[in-house]
Amino acid sequence: DAKTTQPDSMESTEGETVHLPCSHATISGNEYIYWYRQVPLQGPEYVTHGLQQNTTNSMAFLAIASDRKSSTLILPHVSLRDAAVYHCILRASSSFSKLVFGQGTSLSVVP
Amino acid sequence: DMKVTQMPRYLIKRMGENVLLECGQDMSHETMYWYRQDPGLGLQLIYISYDVDSNSEGDIPKGYRVSRKKREHFSLILDSAKTNQTSVYFCASSLSGPFSYEQYFGPGTRLTVL
């Protein structure tokens, strides 16, 4: 699985829209971009994923660069519950490939 | 409610003792996983199970074995635990095939080996 690069930490204020960047310059054509988040003392939680097109769901908007070498997870109107470590992960399209978690970005949210 | 459960949540064992970690899921997922998480190392895959009695080693299987006799249960066994197996262990499950994009994780088991 190819490597991703994320900032170690970011801070935001409640109600703001947060942009979490991820660089994946060596991504392969069959690799999807996944985002998971993890709060202390809990297991990781799936946020979203995409291949080429931007995607949106109830949790976030995923913007993928046209060359797929970077992506941005956009969290609208963050709350204190959004404080977590956000992991950007590349995963091949084979059915049983594992998730390889790095250090992720620790997002803190202040009132 | 889709759920992955893990038992126990906290466990302290002495070096050389046997350890059994249990995982259950109520989603009839074919695929289940065991990971461990250590500070500075992210999650590391120990074993994958594709279905009952169909298991495969992950990246760090040494010192561990698994058992899956029912689709909803997946056990991790440490025979003669070592101090370097102190870690947080996460179980996860997912569908198979093209719908396997989301892995559901349990809350973790915090194991300390003294």
Tokens of B27: 């989603």
pLDDT given for residue A2 in this prediction: 56
pLDDT given for residue B66 in this prediction: 98
For A104, name the nearest residue in chain B, comparing CA atoms only. B42
Distance from CA of A16 to the nearest CA of B (A): 27
- Show residues of chain A in contact with B100, CB under 8 Å: 95-96
Q: Is A18 within 8 Å of A30 (Cβ atoms)?
A: no
Is the per-residue pLDDT at A91 higher than 90?
no
Is the per-residue pLDDT at B33 higher than 80?
yes
Percent of chain A with pLDDT over 70: 95
Whether A44 and B105 lie within 8 Å, measured CB to CB: yes
- Whether the CB of B106 is below 8 Å from some CB of chain A: the reply is yes
Q: How far apart are CA B20 and CA A110, in angstroms?
A: 40
- Show residues of chain B in contact with A46, CB under 8 Å: 101-104
Q: Estimate the share of chain A in helix, then strand, then coil, as percent rounded to the nearest 5.
A: 5, 50, 50
Is the per-residue pLDDT at A1 higher than 70?
no
For the residues of B43-95, what is the DSSP string, one character each? EEEEEEEEETTEEEE-S--TT-EEEEEETTEEEEEESS--GGG-EEEEEEEE-
Higher pLDDT, B43 or B36: B36
Q: Give the range among A69-83, B37-51, B70-84, B92-106 with minimum mean pLDDT.
A: B92-106
Mean pLDDT of B35-63: 91
For B108, name the nearest residue in chain A, comparing CA atoms only. A43
At B43, which amino acid appears? Answer: L
Residue B40, Cβ density class (10 Å: 0-12 exposed, 13-18 middle, ≥19 buried): exposed
- The strand pairing partners of B63, in sequence order, are none
**Cis peptide leading into B98, omega within 30 of 0?**
no
Q: Residues near B68 by Cβ (< 8 Å), separated by ≥ 6?
A: B32, B49, B51, B52, B53, B54, B55, B74, B75
Percent of chain B with pLDDT over 90: 84
pLDDT given for residue B98 in this prediction: 62
Mean pLDDT of B8-21: 97
Mean pLDDT of B60-89: 97
pLDDT given for residue B6 in this prediction: 97
Q: Is B93 within 8 Å of B66 (Cβ atoms)?
A: no
Widest Cα–Cα separation across chain A: 42
pLDDT given for residue B102 in this prediction: 86
Q: Residues near A81 by Cβ (< 8 Å), separated by ≥ 6?
A: none
CA angle (A21 as vertex; A18, A23 as ends), nearest 5: 175
Is the per-residue pLDDT at A95 higher than 70?
no
pLDDT given for residue A96 in this prediction: 59
Is the per-residue pLDDT at B43 higher than 80?
yes
